[in-house]
Amino acid sequence: MRPLPGRSQVELQERLGVEGATMIGLLQRMEHCGLVQRKPDQVDKRMVRVYSSEQGRAKVCDSPFDR
């Protein structure tokens, strides 16, 4: 996950082509591992935005796919 500005869960699921329940499960596991943070949108509190964490960005930079 590249360090992007906060993306909505729906936007991520559409970009990845996965179902909503699958996306939520992935994000919960990633958040539990400290790779992402989920926060309510500043304007629309019903929407959740996903941000990569410092630890998540470090993992991406160490990834062989980033080379």
Mean pLDDT for the chain? Answer: 86
Structure tokens belonging to residue 57: 């960005």
Please name the residue that has the structure tokens 């990834």. Answer: 63
Instruction: Say how many domains are in the chain.
Output: 1
What pLDDT shows up at residue 7?
92
CATH number of residue 52's parent domain: 1.10.10.10
On whether residue 1 sits in a domain, the answer given is: no
Give a yes or no: residue 2 inside a domain: no
At residue 64, does pLDDT exceed 90?
no
Q: How confident is the model at residue 58 (pLDDT cuts 50, 70, 90)?
A: confident
Rounded to the nearest angstrom, the gap between the alpha carbon of residue 28 and the centroid of all alpha carbons in its chain is 9
pLDDT above 60 for 34: yes
Domain boundaries, position 25: 7-66
* 47 pLDDT above the threshold of 70: yes
- Cα–Cα–Cα angle for 32, 37, 40, rounded to 5 degrees: 125
Q: What is the pTM of this model?
A: 0.74
Alpha-carbon Rg for the chain in angstroms: 12
